[in-house]
Structures are given as structure tokens and as C-alpha cells.
């Protein structure tokens, strides 16, 4: 009996110790049987849409990091928060029905850190010079992830209203990452993301897959990043760019954005929120929405070895490849694009000399660019395909093939005689160049242009020529169908050398090996 009572007492003690151990686990946030999982509610998060859960969320992240890594779990609920500090080897998992809501209280966010390259010199916009003034941010981290299927709602984020040249003391980015490696962002939604839904600067080995972004400015900006994979994303950004590659001087050095693939994505410019709710409305309030894929405008470090394939542009501006601050844009291949309801130039390549950056930086280059298998319909009147270089700095080695584009047409003889301004130091927006003297294709200051198996059509009668080339050395047009309206010309050449046209319907084959000052046919 005595031994039996002793065994009962010892068993009871073990039960008490086990219970107290479970209590410790519960207080630490690690789930029983899963020590790598940290539920933010276990750290005091309410998730009721009212209480500020910033401290609880950051405590959960710290506990996971202190444990050597883990997953910070957000179960169903609305978690109001200010700045959330990511840490290495920690992932955030937004479960079904979980939303992180950006606080409307300015004091909830970390202040923008000092950055002499933006604050003193203004080499890039303030938004590209600061990362800490964000809802979720991380710097100098490795092995970080944010996964869905939950949502990030930037309710309290600023879009940079006051001045794009000065940092604001309020959160203005949904997610900001600086100098990180091995980052995965997958299967969550960003709604109303502020100045940037995602700003990634100096991030290597970055995977972005399955995101849904419906926002009031840029969807995602990939700046000075290497080894990037963007796939299966839908980005609606009516007031700014959807997927934007940049190479700023925000890190205080020249660093290229390189080894990037963008595939199987949709970009659009419907009214904000209407991609997520499925209505896809476009109101007259925004007559020329943005919502496109673009390189630039911050372009100090370069764009190299980039592919874009299997993407859709809808109710947006067209593809824009821009380098205006000294960067080399080279070795780019783009294929399989479908475009509908395009406002302005469907394809825009611009080499400029804004030169916002360190003094004595040389003018950049655009070379070795291939664009093929593009279909576009309902392209607004005014501009065709645009390739614009600089005098003494031509765009080089561009190949366009297997392209079908239907333009609105309607141009006049007066527009055909218009001279396009150079604007070498201006912001490189296609619409700023105005109506071009060709309805289908206009190139100036270019070298080694190859255009083959391209079909350009104008729905309405257009008195402008189909193709105008100015200061172009080496231009081959093969099987290009671009029938002009009655009385208009197909080709207009001004200061063009080494030109050829072969198998172009309605035009006799032509070879112009020597310079032609002015000719039309």
C-alpha cells in the first residue's frame, strides 16, 4: 500500500510538471507538438480589427528568431499593426481569413532612416531611399518568407501625397526589403499598398509567386536585385506601374538588376479594388491608367539578362523599357504578350540622359533586346511602337518579330508633319512625346533594328505614314504588313543608312545601303 501511494504521488507530480510545461509552451507561443510554430495570439494579439497588435506580432517574430527560426502564424482575424520587423530564418504565414491591417496612427511606424544618397543628393525619389517607414520591413536578412492565403491591407499607408522628394513620418509601403537573401513571397494578397505594395532593394534569390495586388500606386518595384523569379501574379495598379524593375543609387553604389524572369502574370489598370472584387471597372476619373510592366525610371546600375514571357496587359499602358540615368539595358528577351485596351505606345524603348545620380556618370545604352510573339488590340490613337535614343547614343540591336497590333488610327496630315521633341533630360513617359508622325512605328537615333513578320493595322483612316525612321543606321523590314490609308506613305526615311524592305505587302523590295537624307514610298 505504501509503495502504491508513493507511485500515485510521483505520477501526480509528473502530471503537474507536464501541465506546467504545457503552460510554458503556450506562453512562449510555440504550438504543442510543433515547436517551430508561433501563433501571434499566444503573444497577446487580438486580431479584432481594433486593438493595435504591433507589439504582440513583433514579440512572436523575436521568439521565433530566438528559437533558431520558425513560422509566425496569423489565424483568421484582422490584426491592426504598425511597423513589423522581419528577422532571419522566420516566415510569416497569413492563414485563411487572416488580414494584417496597416494602422492609421503615424506613431505606429518606424521613422524613415537617413540615406545621404536620397536625402542630401536626391539621386532617387524618397520612396526608394527609405525602407523602415513601412508596414513590414527587413534589412540584412536571410531565409525569410511571407506566405498566404491571407491578406495585407494598407489602410493607413500613405501614397506619398505631400512630396516625392521628402520622406514622410508615416508608413508608406506595405513590404520593404533591403539587402536580403533567399526571400520567398507566395500566395497572399496586397490591397491598397501605399507608395509601393512591395519594394525590394538589393535582394538576391527572390521568389515572388502567386501574389494578388490591387493597389493605389506601384504594385511591386524590384530594385538592384539579382536572381529574381516573378510568376503567376496579378497586379492591378491604375495610378502607377504594376511590375517595375529599377536600378537606383539608393544603396550608395551602382548595382544592376539582373538574372530576372517574369512569367505568367497579369497587369492591369482597372479602378482600384475592382480586380479583387471581379468587376474590373474603368471610370473616366482615370482616362489613361498605368498598370504596366516597366524598366526604370531609376536606372543607375543597369538591367541585364532579363526575360519576360506569357504575360497579359489589360486596360493599361504598354510595355516600357527605359534607361535615363546611365544604366546599360542589355540582353533582354520578351515573348508571348497579349495586350488589350492599351493607352499609348504598346512598346516603348527609351534611352535618355536625365542623369540623376553621381556626376560624370556616362550616358547608358540599350542593346540586344528581342521582343516577339505579341498581340495587341484596341490600342489608343496617337502613338505606335516607339524606339527613341539620343543623338550620338543610339538604341542598338533591337529585334521585333511575330507581332500583331491593331491601332485606333484617325491621325491627320498635320500630325504627320509634326516634329517629335527630343526631351533628353525629361521624365521618359511615352505620352509626353505627344502624337508621333507615324501611326504604326517610329524610331529615332537607332542602330541595327530588325523588324520581321509584323502586322500593323489601323481601324480608322489615318493620314500619317505607317513607319517613320529618323537618324537610323541599319534597319531591316521583312514581311511587315502596315498598309497606309489612301494617299499616305508606308515608309518615310530621314537620314537613314543601310535600310532594306523585303516582302512587305504594297511596297516594292528596297535596298538603301548608303545614307538617305529624305525619301518616302
Residue 38 CA to residue 34 CA, distance in Å, equals 9
Instruction: With respect to residue 183, please indicate whether it lies within any of the assigned structural domains.
Output: yes
Residue 111: which pLDDT band, with cuts at 50, 70 and 90? very high
The secondary structure of 357-426, three-state, reads CCCCCCCCEEEEEEEEEEEEEEECCCCCEEEECECCECEEEEEEEEEEEEEEECCCHHHHCCCCCCCCCC
Instruction: With respect to residue 56, please indicate whether it lies within any of the assigned structural domains.
Output: no
Instruction: With respect to residue 15, please indicate whether it lies within any of the assigned structural domains.
Output: no
The secondary structure of residue 194, as a DSSP letter, is B
Instruction: With respect to residue 45, please indicate whether it lies within any of the assigned structural domains.
Output: no
Give the pLDDT confidence score for residue 165 in this predicted structure. 53
More confident residue, 163 or 315: 315
Phi, psi of 215 (to 5 degrees): -145, 175
Residue 136 CA to residue 155 CA, distance in Å, equals 14
Domain count of the chain?
Answer: 1
Give the pLDDT confidence score for residue 163 in this predicted structure. 53
pLDDT at 6 over 80: no
Q: What is the pLDDT of residues 453-470, one digit of tens each?
A: 999 999 999 999 999 999
Instruction: With respect to residue 5, please indicate whether it lies within any of the assigned structural domains.
Output: no
Report, as an integer, the average pLDDT of 368-378: 98
Instruction: With respect to residue 63, please indicate whether it lies within any of the assigned structural domains.
Output: no
Residue 177 CA to residue 216 CA, distance in Å, equals 20
Report, as an integer, the average pLDDT of 368-394: 96
Residue 7: which pLDDT band, with cuts at 50, 70 and 90? very low
Q: Which three cell numbers stand for residue 185?
A: 513571397
For 477-489, give one letter per residue: b (16+ CB within 10 A) or e: bbbbbbbbbeebb
Give the pLDDT confidence score for residue 8 in this predicted structure. 37
- Weakest-pLDDT range from 134-143, 160-169, 263-272, 400-409: 160-169
Q: What is the pLDDT of residues 225-256, one digit of tens each?
A: 999 999 999 999 999 999 999 999 999 999 99
Give the pLDDT confidence score for residue 161 in this predicted structure. 56
Instruction: With respect to residue 128, please indicate whether it lies within any of the assigned structural domains.
Output: yes
Q: Which domain holds residue 194?
A: 109-520
Give the pLDDT confidence score for residue 276 in this predicted structure. 98
Instruction: With respect to residue 200, please indicate whether it lies within any of the assigned structural domains.
Output: yes
Give the pLDDT confidence score for residue 31 in this predicted structure. 56
Sign of the C-alpha dihedral, residues 504, 509, 515, 518? negative
Region of residue 22 (left: phi > 0; alpha: psi -120 to 50; beta: else): alpha
Cis amide prior to 297 (ω within 30 degrees):
yes
For the chain, give the percent of residues with pLDDT over 70.
Answer: 92
Give the pLDDT confidence score for residue 160 in this predicted structure. 82
Give the pLDDT confidence score for residue 194 in this predicted structure. 97
CATH code for the domain in which residue 133 is found: 2.160.20
Residue 370 CA to residue 400 CA, distance in Å, equals 6
- Weakest-pLDDT range from 25-34, 65-74, 100-109: 25-34
pTM of the model as a whole:
0.93
- DSSP letters, 482-499, are -PPPTT--SEEEEEEEEE
Average pLDDT over the chain reads: 93
Sequence-separated (6 or more) residues with CB below 8 Å from residue 85: 58, 61, 137, 138
Sign of the C-alpha dihedral, residues 290, 366, 222, 376? positive
- Weakest-pLDDT range from 9-23, 406-420, 468-482: 9-23
The HSE-up count of residue 4 (CA atoms within 13 Å, CB side) is: 1
pLDDT at 28 over 80: no
Residue 170: which pLDDT band, with cuts at 50, 70 and 90? confident
Amino acid at each position: 500500500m505504501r509503495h502504491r501511494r508513493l507511485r500515485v504521488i510521483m505520477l501526480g507530480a509528473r502530471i503537474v510538471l507536464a501541465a506546467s510545461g504545457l503552460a510554458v509552451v503556450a506562453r512562449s507561443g510555440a504550438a504543442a507538438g510543433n515547436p517551430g510554430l508561433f501563433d501571434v495570439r499566444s503573444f497577446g494579439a487580438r486580431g479584432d480589427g481594433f486593438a493595435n497588435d504591433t507589439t504582440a506580432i513583433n514579440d512572436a517574430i523575436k521568439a521565433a528568431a530566438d528559437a533558431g527560426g520558425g513560422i509566425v502564424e496569423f489565424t483568421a482575424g484582422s490584426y491592426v499593426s504598425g511597423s513589423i520587423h522581419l528577422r532571419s530564418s522566420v516566415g510569416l504565414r497569413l492563414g485563411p481569413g487572416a488580414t494584417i491591417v496597416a494602422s492609421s496612427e503615424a506613431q505606429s511606424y518606424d521613422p524613415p532612416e537617413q540615406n545621404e544618397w536620397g536625402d542630401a543628393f536626391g539621386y532617387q525619389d524618397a520612396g526608394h531611399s527609405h525602407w523602415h517607414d513601412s508596414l513590414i520591413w527587413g534589412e540584412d536578412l536571410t531565409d525569410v518568407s511571407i506566405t498566404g492565403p491571407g491578406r495585407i491591407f494598407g489602410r493607413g499607408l500613405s501614397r506619398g501625397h505631400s512630396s516625392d522628394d521628402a520622406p514622410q513620418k508615416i508608413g508608406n509601403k506595405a513590404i520593404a526589403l533591403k539587402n536580403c537573401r533567399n526571400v520567398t513571397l507566395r500566395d497572399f494578397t496586397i490591397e491598397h499598398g501605399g507608395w509601393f505594395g512591395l519594394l525590394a532593394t538589393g535582394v538576391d534569390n527572390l521568389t515572388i509567386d502567386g501574389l494578388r495586388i490591387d493597389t493605389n500606386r506601384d504594385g511591386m518595384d524590384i530594385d538592384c536585385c539579382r536572381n529574381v523569379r516573378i510568376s503567376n501574379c496579378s497586379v492591378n495598379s491604375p495610378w502607377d506601374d504594376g511590375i517595375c524593375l529599377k536600378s537606383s543609387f539608393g544603396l550608395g553604389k551602382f548595382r544592376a538588376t539582373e538574372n530576372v524572369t517574369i512569367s505568367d502574370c497579369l497587369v492591369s489598370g482597372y479602378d482600384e479594388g475592382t480586380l479583387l472584387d471581379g468587376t474590373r471597372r474603368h471610370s473616366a476619373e482615370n482616362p489613361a491608367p498605368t498598370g504596366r510592366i516597366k524598366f526604370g525610371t531609376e536606372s543607375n546600375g543597369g538591367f541585364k539578362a532579363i526575360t519576360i514571357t506569357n504575360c497579359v496587359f489589360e486596360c493599361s499602358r504598354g510595355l516600357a523599357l527605359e534607361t535615363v540615368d546611365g544604366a546599360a539595358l542589355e540582353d533582354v528577351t520578351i515573348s508571348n504578350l497579349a495586350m488589350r485596351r492599351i493607352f499609348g505606345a504598346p512598346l516603348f524603348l527609351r534611352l535618355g540622359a536625365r542623369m540623376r545620380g553621381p556626376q560624370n556618370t556616362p550616358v547608358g545604352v540599350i542593346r540586344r533586346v528581342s521582343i516577339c510573339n505579341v498581340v495587341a488590340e484596341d490600342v489608343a490613337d496617337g502613338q505606335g511602337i516607339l524606339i527613341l535614343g539620343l543623338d550620338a547614343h543610339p538604341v542598338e540591336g533591337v529585334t521585333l518579330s511575330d507581332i500583331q497590333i491593331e491601332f485606333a488610327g484617325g491621325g491627320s496630315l498635320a500630325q504627320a508633319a509634326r516634329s517629335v521633341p527630343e526631351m533628353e533630360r525629361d521624365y521618359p513617359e511615352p505620352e509626353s512625346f505627344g502624337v508621333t508622325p507615324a501611326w504604326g512605328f517610329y524610331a529615332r537615333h537607332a542602330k541595327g533594328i530588325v523588324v520581321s513578320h509584323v502586322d500593323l493595322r489601323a481601324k480608322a483612316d489615318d493620314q500619317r505614314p505607317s513607319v517613320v525612321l529618323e537618324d537610323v543606321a541599319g534597319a531591316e523590314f521583312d514581311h511587315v504588313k502596315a498598309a497606309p490609308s489612301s494617299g499616305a506613305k508606308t515608309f518615310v526615311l530621314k537620314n537613314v543608312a543601310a535600310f532594306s524592305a523585303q516582302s512587305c505587302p504594297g511596297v516594292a523590295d528596297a535596298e538603301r545601303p548608303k545614307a538617305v537624307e529624305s525619301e518616302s514610298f
